[in-house]
Structure 1
């Protein structure tokens, strides 16, 4: 085992024990590399940035159950690659849906049922976000309404990047729970990004 792998293993063990400083160290160590890797594949800055952030959120939220059988590098790069593949798939579905709607010409782009579902989802998310504590609400809106990066949000609100991560992790978790109460099919039809910046 190389010295690099030993250091990574030690960082993972510290993260498993809720060591935020180890998580921030991993974040700074890998963020740019993961972003560059994703950007070469997807060439969409905001989407890739979101994918990398989601990987880190997922990584931190699952820290107590982490089982990394390869290296930390492989684990994180594989996670980003997997989400990029899913992005391709969901984008393909949305593109096909969009083309189908365009081919209808002046006909209504969404059926009555789809419109109701769409409005229900947006209303539901707006309600969930409205119930967030003030600080979490600010973080959420700066991320999804203004499109600011985690670092920009941290600087704007004078809080740590780790705090931004925690707020968004909890916000997205609450929204996912809320969405499960409706239907997942809408996320396939419209794409979840349509609703996050309600």
Structure 2
């Protein structure tokens, strides 16, 4: 039998499209490092680069049955990551502009009703991103942040380990930081 490491990319993709997790793992191990470096060069932040590559591979696996790779696998993966990097940068600019305009508005017009309206907009944005978290992660996050339960209390109520609770909260914060940007993320920490 041929080892997966000896197979060509096209062969691995075919196996993966059939649901072979080992083929996916081989593709992941083959390209992960290069893709993280590629994303890091664009972002200058290793953690964000790693998160974007992880997200790209997650989408790659989830859409394996729909994939139509017309160019090389490497080119396909680089394009996936590049598009996510561009979307991330674009989103960061939008968040920065929104935060800047919010702070400018506070300096120029300390109108309490206008401030409250902006706060509600930001809270709605935060809540939308929390609602988009995976179900179990969202439940753990809300129990921690809104109900102020300890890791131990959450673990007992959901019948999971404290380590799993900690991992869910850490992953949720990472996702929210990436999606919301630093300014909104800081507000979220204060509110939730």
Query: Which bin holds the TM-score, normalised by the shorter protein?
Result: 0.5 to 0.7
SS in 1 for 2:25: helix
SS in 1 for 2:71: coil
Matched, 1:96 2:97: yes
Q: Which residue of 2 aligns with 1:34?
A: 35
Post-superposition Cα deviations, 1:117-172, rounded to whole Å, max 9, x if no partner, equal: 44356557379411797477554323234x5xxxxxxxxxxxxxxxxxxxxxxxx9
Post-superposition Cα deviations, 1:84-104, rounded to whole Å, max 9, x if no partner, equal: 111121111112112212223
Q: Which residue of 2 aligns with 1:181?
A: none
Once the two structures are overlaid, the 10-residue window that deviates more, 79-88 or 107-116, is: 107-116
- Structure 2 gap segments, 5+ residues each: 142-157
Tell whether the 8 Å contact from 2:16 to 2:23 is kept in structure 1 after alignment. yes
Distance 1:108 1:130, change over 3 A: farther
Q: Which residue of 2 aligns with 1:166?
A: none
Q: Which residue of 2 aligns with 1:143?
A: 171
Higher relative contact order, structure no. (Cα contacts within 8 Å, ≥ 6 residues apart): 1
SS in 2 for 1:21: helix
Once the two structures are overlaid, the 10-residue window that deviates more, 123-132 or 42-51, is: 123-132
Post-superposition Cα deviations, 1:4-49, rounded to whole Å, max 9, x if no partner, equal: 9x70000100110110001111111111100001111110111111
Question: How far apart, in 2, do the equivalents of 1:138 and 1:62 lie?
Answer: 29
Q: Which residue of 2 aligns with 1:153?
A: none
Matched, 1:115 2:119: yes
Larger Rg: 2
What RMSD in Å do the two structures reach over aligned CA positions?
3.6
Matched, 1:130 2:139: yes
Question: How far apart, in 2, do the equivalents of 1:11 and 1:196 lie?
Answer: 42
Tell whether the 8 Å contact from 2:96 to 2:181 is kept in structure 1 after alignment. no
Question: How far apart, in 2, do the equivalents of 1:99 and 1:118 lie?
Answer: 13
